[in-house]
Amino acid sequence: MRSQKNRQHGITRPLVKHSAPRRAAPRRIRLGAREVFTEGISTQVVQDLYHHFMTVSWPRLFATIAAFFLVFDLLFGCLYDLKPGCIANLNPPGFAGAFFFSVETLATVGYGDMHPQTPYGHVIAMIEIFVGLMMLAVITGLMFARFSRPKARFMFSKQAVVRPIDGKLTLMFRAANARQNVVQEASALLRMMRDDVTPEGYRLRRLVDLPLVRSQHPVFSLGWNLMHAIDESSPLRTETAESLAATKAVFILSLSGTDETTGQVLMARAEYPSEAIRWNEAFRDILEAQPDGSLHIDYGKFDEVEPLPEALDRRSRPP
């Protein structure tokens, strides 16, 4: 190994060669309709176990818990088997009995037939009971966190429409609460992401806020039409279907509110690419008054749109 000499102290040090960090495999992330592949960030599962177990699928979670349980049972079963005679009334004899005693001890069941009878057996059983209690606490907390995690059942229309409302061209989205309970003080935000080029020639993915005609709903229980007026102050005042498609525009609609039943804050979002925006069309009416005065809402028509009676031409000429 080569060495380098320190001129001040006259000592030599080995020249350490640092190996290049291992690059992680590309990771695929879906952002709406787009796929993004990221590289250079290693997945730190051990350092982020809570987030991993909160986001992993239920079958994989149960398989992981079962694998940990089996590994610890086998490990402590081997430790019991190292000292024959440390477990009284071992049945069946041999490793099989030690394994089943390990299962009972790790689960803190303790039927009483088999029990430790030597200091060695008591020490191993004590360690295994401690491990079992910790596993039980972690699994209980994890299951509670997953089951109690708030989940919104907000419905978003698959398409958005651009149509005139109150004499102004308006971008409209449709949302509903599938639970049909009360979501208090619901709020909505609408943003648009698109490719843009600055005057200096710098290309970026720009995020643009689109103010809504009404961004708050005190009692969101059935449906909500969210509208952005395309007036002179709107960032969409000069946009067309073609220009939005050229810049790969995506509209992001976010909803949040407090569930009256559980008191939890619910959040959900929907993304609409430019091709999901239907110009000069309208949502099909889902509300119908019955002869007895009651109202009937047909959510089967929630995603349906239809052409306007007189289709209006989007302002194709510059203002």
Per-residue pLDDT of the chain (319 residues; tens, 9 = 90+): 444 444 445 545 555 454 444 556 677 766 656 677 777 666 666 677 888 888 889 999 999 999 999 999 999 999 999 999 999 999 999 999 999 999 999 998 878 889 999 999 999 999 999 999 999 999 999 999 888 888 889 999 999 999 999 889 999 999 999 998 999 999 999 999 999 988 888 999 899 999 999 999 999 988 999 999 999 999 999 999 999 999 999 999 999 999 998 899 999 999 999 999 999 999 998 888 888 878 888 888 899 999 988 645 444 333 4
Q: Does 227 share its domain with 260?
A: yes
38 falls within a domain: no
Q: Does 134 share its domain with 163?
A: no
Q: Does 140 share its domain with 254?
A: no
11 falls within a domain: no
Q: Does 121 share its domain with 179?
A: no
The count of structural domains within the chain is: 2
CA 290, 293, 298, 301 dihedral sign is positive
- Are the CB atoms for 28 and 35 separated by under 8 Å? yes
Q: Is the pTM of this model over 0.75?
A: no
User: What is the residue range of 264's domain?
Assistant: 154-307
Q: Residue 283: beta bridge partners?
A: 305
**Beta-carbon count within 10 A of 264 CB:** 14
Q: How far apart are CA 109 and CA 105, in angstroms?
A: 6
Q: Does 203 share its domain with 223?
A: yes
Query: What's the CA dihedral at 132, 138, 143, 146 to 10 degrees?
Result: -160
What pLDDT score does 42 carry?
67
- Are the CB atoms for 254 and 217 separated by under 8 Å? no
The conformational region for residue 304 under phi > 0 = left, psi -120 to 50 = alpha, else beta, is beta
What pLDDT score does 79 carry?
95
Q: Does 117 share its domain with 161?
A: no
Q: Does 132 share its domain with 178?
A: no
Q: Does 174 share its domain with 283?
A: yes
Q: Does 269 share its domain with 165?
A: yes
Q: Does 130 share its domain with 166?
A: no
CATH number at residue 186: 2.60.40.1400
112 falls within a domain: yes
Q: Does 183 share its domain with 297?
A: yes
Q: What is the DSSP string of the chain?
A: --EEE-TTT--EEE-PPPPPPPPPPPEEEEETTEEEEE-S----TGGGHHHHHHHS-HHHHHHHHHHHHHHHHHHHHHHHHHSTTSEET-SSSSHHHHHHHHHHHHTT---SSSEE-SHHHHHHHHHHHHHHHHHHHHHHHHHHHHHHS----EEE-S-EEEEEETTEEEEEEEEEETT-S-EEEEEEEEEEEEEEE-TT--EEEEEEE---S--EEEEESSEEEEEEE-STTSTTTT--HHHHHHTT-EEEEEEEEEETTT-PEEEEEEEEEGGGEEETEEEPP-EEE-TTS-EEE-GGGTT-EEE-SSPPPP--S--
Question: Of 133, 148, 163, which residue constitutes the final position of a domain?
Answer: 148
Question: Of 148, 179, 210, which residue constitutes the final position of a domain?
Answer: 148
Q: Residue 175: beta bridge partners?
A: 156, 224
CATH number at residue 51: 1.10.287.70
142 falls within a domain: yes
20 falls within a domain: no
Question: Of 95, 114, 148, which residue constitutes the final position of a domain?
Answer: 148
Q: Does 140 share its domain with 167?
A: no
